[in-house]
Amino acid sequence: MMSIFVAVALVLTSAILSVAFPLATYTFTLAAFGLTHVLTELHYVDNRFRQRLGNNLCWRMSQLLILIIGLRSLQVLSLIPTWLSITLELSCVVALVILVIPVLAKKDWRLGIFGTILCLLLSFGIFSSATLTLLIFAILHNITPVGFIAERWRGKTRNYALLICVVVFILIPLLIISGLPNQVLSSFGLVAWEASLFPVGGLDNHLGVFVPPQLQNEAIAISLFSAAVFLQTMHYAVVIGVLPKWENHQKSQIKYHLFTWVVGFLSVILFVSFTREFIHTRAVYGIIAAVHAWVEIPILLLSLAIPENSQMSFQSISSQKLSN
């Protein structure tokens, strides 16, 4: 009962803060929990899916992720233009999906079609507006905890959890976008859009993280930004507060404790850097954040084909495909 109360309080508090103080909530949560959530999520993905991946597929995916790191690094150093970096990065994401299509098709032809359609949509997005496509995926990435929940649980437990996810990850953001929460809080004088806990510039300097340029001057822009900030906060909460509880640390408690100390140490360093130079630090943070965001797309697709209790790996299915 206490855990339910804490969860409800966290959701409501996050929603209120995201609407009342969107800039402060976005910048503080990113600085405080951004790196922690990235490393925690990568640790969970590695522990839960590595055995099912197989060495061959894991290596090929790693090559594409290393290429993405290189592209992001070149962009941060201003050695290549942003538009080119984004285009090439999204092309690598298409390649990541293409890698798993044979596995999906072998398991179920409908999954193969789904993967193919996703590739086509990504390709269309690259050619129409790569920047907008990247922004959309930055927002959609925040709902990946729903995928982890669906992959982890079964039966009534999963149905109940997914119902909660609908409320948290869909209904509440839509309510925020409607502008009603903003009107209510504004009537009590509780809204301060430009407020921040450390120097980050005005809200206009950050709207582009979640709001397309075409909408940044519209009345809905603040509500869209607030909704995305709330989603990001919920994403952090699930990744940091829930995923580690699903892992089995009994066999390697020392390694896990060492991991948590390293994560804490690095997160403190990055937090200090965020407070001193937010924009540049966010660009550097984006290099590792890109890895954890893009690797989850093929991973979650493959989890549809090979559930946890399956005796087969992704690699074995792929090998069967080739032998046939």
Residue 203 forms part of a structural domain: yes
Residue 32 forms part of a structural domain: yes
- Over its C-alpha atoms, the chain yields an Rg (Å, rounded) of 20
Residue 10 is predicted with a pLDDT of: 96
Residue 226 forms part of a structural domain: yes
Name the least confident of 5-14, 113-122, 148-157. 148-157
298-324 pLDDT per residue, tens = 999 988 877 765 545 555 555 554 444
Residue 311 is predicted with a pLDDT of: 46
Report helix, strand or coil for 248.
coil
pLDDT tier, 3 (very low <50, low <70, confident <90, very high otherwise): confident
| pLDDT (average), residues 5-11 | 93
Residue 84 is predicted with a pLDDT of: 95
Residue 140 is predicted with a pLDDT of: 93
Residue 55 forms part of a structural domain: yes
| Cα–Cα separations (whole angstroms), residue 294 to 106, 167, 287 | 23, 25, 11
Q: Position 172: which residue type?
A: I
Distance of CA 5 to the CA centre of its chain: 26
Distance CA(185)–CA(264), nearest Å, equals 35
Residue 249 is predicted with a pLDDT of: 67
Residue 237 has pLDDT above 70, yes or no: yes
Which of 199, 215, 196 lies closest to 207, judged by CA?
Answer: 215
Residue 255 is predicted with a pLDDT of: 84
Residue 5 forms part of a structural domain: no
162-221 pLDDT per residue, tens = 999 999 999 999 999 999 999 999 999 999 999 999 999 999 999 999 999 999 999 899
pLDDT tier, 225 (very low <50, low <70, confident <90, very high otherwise): very high
Domain of 32 in residue numbering reads as 15-323
Residue 224 forms part of a structural domain: yes
How many domains does the chain divide into?
A: 1
Residue 324 is predicted with a pLDDT of: 45
| pLDDT (average), residues 24-47 | 95
Chain mean pLDDT for the chain:
91
Residue 240 forms part of a structural domain: yes
Q: Where are the alpha helices (DSSP H) in 108-242?
A: 109-140, 144-152, 155-166, 172-178, 180-187, 221-241
113-137 pLDDT per residue, tens = 999 999 999 999 999 999 999 999 9
| pLDDT (average), residues 85-113 | 93
Residue 82 forms part of a structural domain: yes
